[in-house]
Structure 1
């Protein structure tokens, strides 16, 4: 049996960590416990998670405006409006879902996977409805600009990945 530098075997060290975590009310086997408000650092972690979600949604909004300006330079006024509509078809459902998921983490039971899947379905349905509404209500729609704005907003999180 190999010993660590502190003289404790890895098995006993993991048992000690497990006892410490279960003593604090956090299961070492369920990462979702860190989102429950009963955990010791839930309030500060919840606000940090809200800041991350807010940063992502605001980045999507900024990228949507940039995509709209580029489309406006290349294709005129109708392309600008279409690209903005396309980006907003992505940003608005994401903002609603992020807000709801944050509120779910503040509930006494914490966030559960069922609410995530329900809100993911609502987000997809809202996205499809917004694209349909844009096509129905804006007669001079430029489909290329709308889809371009949507895809650019959808993939804007890649910018945050390169930042870290």
Structure 2
């Protein structure tokens, strides 16, 4: 694989990144409104309920529904904790502190998820790991659905 060097020194120094003007940034913000984190968490709760009911109805076993519901809960509770923690410090004037806080809450979210999964066999009678994982995965995918259906998203042909 060959790399082609720039012809002139001016081409070598020309940046690939062009910052937006204030007007361009305002237009971009109007076309891409922010998605409320709490709407995503509520969406995850609703998806979790639907998955749990579907597992119960399709199998005829309440334990499958409870397993799927617990899997959804293992996603929703840590996500709500993360959202609360991150949004509390969102307006921090110190970007480094905000980033450390973000990673701290992400670690707390992961630890809580692992703890909930470890407690599952003791808390869910007749636990079905398959239903639990299905509940978790489907509930987690709610993030992607929220990003795709948010207002202002333009479909490209």
TM-score (norm 1): 0.66
> How far did 1:118 drift?
1.1
The reply on whether 1:152 has 2:145 as its aligned counterpart is no
- Could you tell me how far apart the structure 2 residues matched to 1:113 and 1:125 are? 18
Aligned ranges 1:53-68 → 2 under 5 Å: 53-68=37-52
Tell which deviates more after alignment, 123-132 or 151-160: 151-160
Equivalent position of 2:83 in the other structure: 98
Kindly indicate whether the alpha-carbon contact (under 8 Å) linking 2:63 and 2:125 is maintained by their aligned counterparts in 1.
Answer: no
Equivalent position of 1:69 in the other structure: 53
Unaligned stretches of 5+ in structure 1?
A: 1-13, 21-47
SS in structure 2 of the partner of residue 139 of structure 1: coil
Greater helix percent: which structure? 1
2:100 to 114, 117, 129: 114
- Could you tell me how far apart the structure 2 residues matched to 1:131 and 1:59 are? 21
Tell which deviates more after alignment, 123-132 or 138-147: 138-147
- Could you tell me how far apart the structure 2 residues matched to 1:150 and 1:135 are? 15
Kindly indicate whether the alpha-carbon contact (under 8 Å) linking 2:92 and 2:98 is maintained by their aligned counterparts in 1.
Answer: no
Kindly indicate whether the alpha-carbon contact (under 8 Å) linking 2:74 and 2:113 is maintained by their aligned counterparts in 1.
Answer: yes
> How far did 1:108 drift?
5.0
**What RMSD in Å do the two structures reach over aligned CA positions?**
2.2
Kindly indicate whether the alpha-carbon contact (under 8 Å) linking 2:66 and 2:124 is maintained by their aligned counterparts in 1.
Answer: no
Q: 1:96 to 1:72 in 2, by over 3 A?
A: same
Unaligned stretches of 5+ in structure 2?
A: 1-17, 23-32
- Could you tell me how far apart the structure 2 residues matched to 1:154 and 1:70 are? 17
